[in-house]
Amino acid sequence: MRKIWWKILCIVIIFYVIVMGIMGPVPRLPIINESIRNTYFHVALWFAMTILLFTSMIFSVKYLNKGLIKNDDIASELAKSAIFFGILGCLTGSTWANYTWGDPWPNDPKLNGAAIGILIYLAYLLLRSSFEDEQRKARISSVYNIFAFAVFIPIIYILPRLTDSLHPGSGGNSTFGSYDIDNDIRKVLYPAVIGYVLLGLWLAELRIRIKRINRIREEAIITADRA
């Protein structure tokens, strides 16, 4: 039970978010209207993605510091979970944009930055697939992962605030905090971020186990061949 309590918590939180996201009370705001419910999905997914990418970068630093392949395994699988959330975030964001701005992908710096950020991390996966040697793969991709996060944050959170953007907090628009003041939004948004982070960790854990099982199997085959 000690090892699975957080998985149970993840299921409970996500179920709560889905139910409250569909049926819970929300503030009545012009233009946004009921589409503000997407806050629990689009916004929370991107927050969770950023947390997972940051954690992935930390494990890349740990790999470069200690050279343990398990740290690279964790870093790469957390990045994959984050990319998955990023793609879902783009899809939910496009749906929201279509209802509020009349275009699923308007020429907006934050949307374009999001697409660039996803491409940067897809290139990270492509880079990993181009190496056969595990240590070389881990070493080069760890360095890339650190620089990728350093580029990702300005593209997503800083540069859009310096120019005109349809997103809140940019181009003279009010910050997201003006929407988040409502307690009905806050009490679902924060748990949603926690739930998605736990889900990302769960997905990464499963993939790490599969990777380690495959590695043990390959080593057993090599040992058997030598014998």
Per-residue confidence (pLDDT) for residue 117, from 0 to 100: 92
How many structural domains compose the chain?
1
- DSSP string for residues in 108-159: -HHHHHHHHHHHHHHHHHHHHHT--SHHHHHHHHHHHHHHHHHHHHIIIIIG
Residue-wise pLDDT for 21-32, tens only, equals 888 887 776 666
Per-residue confidence (pLDDT) for residue 207, from 0 to 100: 95
Per-residue confidence (pLDDT) for residue 74, from 0 to 100: 96
Per-residue confidence (pLDDT) for residue 218, from 0 to 100: 80
CA dist 64 and 208 (Å) reads 19
Q: Which of 108, 105, 87, 119 shows the shortest CA–CA distance to 171? A: 108
What is each CA distance from 112 to 86, 96, 189, 209, in whole angstroms? 13, 15, 24, 35
CA dist 179 and 176 (Å) reads 5
Task: Indicate the average pLDDT of the chain.
Answer: 86
Give the pair of three-digit tokens for residue 223: 């040992």
Per-residue confidence (pLDDT) for residue 2, from 0 to 100: 62
Per-residue confidence (pLDDT) for residue 180, from 0 to 100: 46
Per-residue confidence (pLDDT) for residue 165, from 0 to 100: 63
Per-residue confidence (pLDDT) for residue 217, from 0 to 100: 87
- Between CA 159 and CA 146, with CA 122 as vertex, the angle to 5 degrees is 60
Per-residue confidence (pLDDT) for residue 174, from 0 to 100: 46
CA dist 207 and 72 (Å) reads 13
Per-residue confidence (pLDDT) for residue 30, from 0 to 100: 65
Residue 118, φ and ψ in degrees, nearest 5: -65, -40
User: For the chain, which residues score pLDDT lower than 50?
Assistant: 172-175, 179-180
Per-residue confidence (pLDDT) for residue 175, from 0 to 100: 46
CA dist 172 and 166 (Å) reads 9
Residues sharing a CB contact under 8 Å with residue 101, sequence separation 6 or more, in sequence order: 166
Domain range for residue 24?
5-226
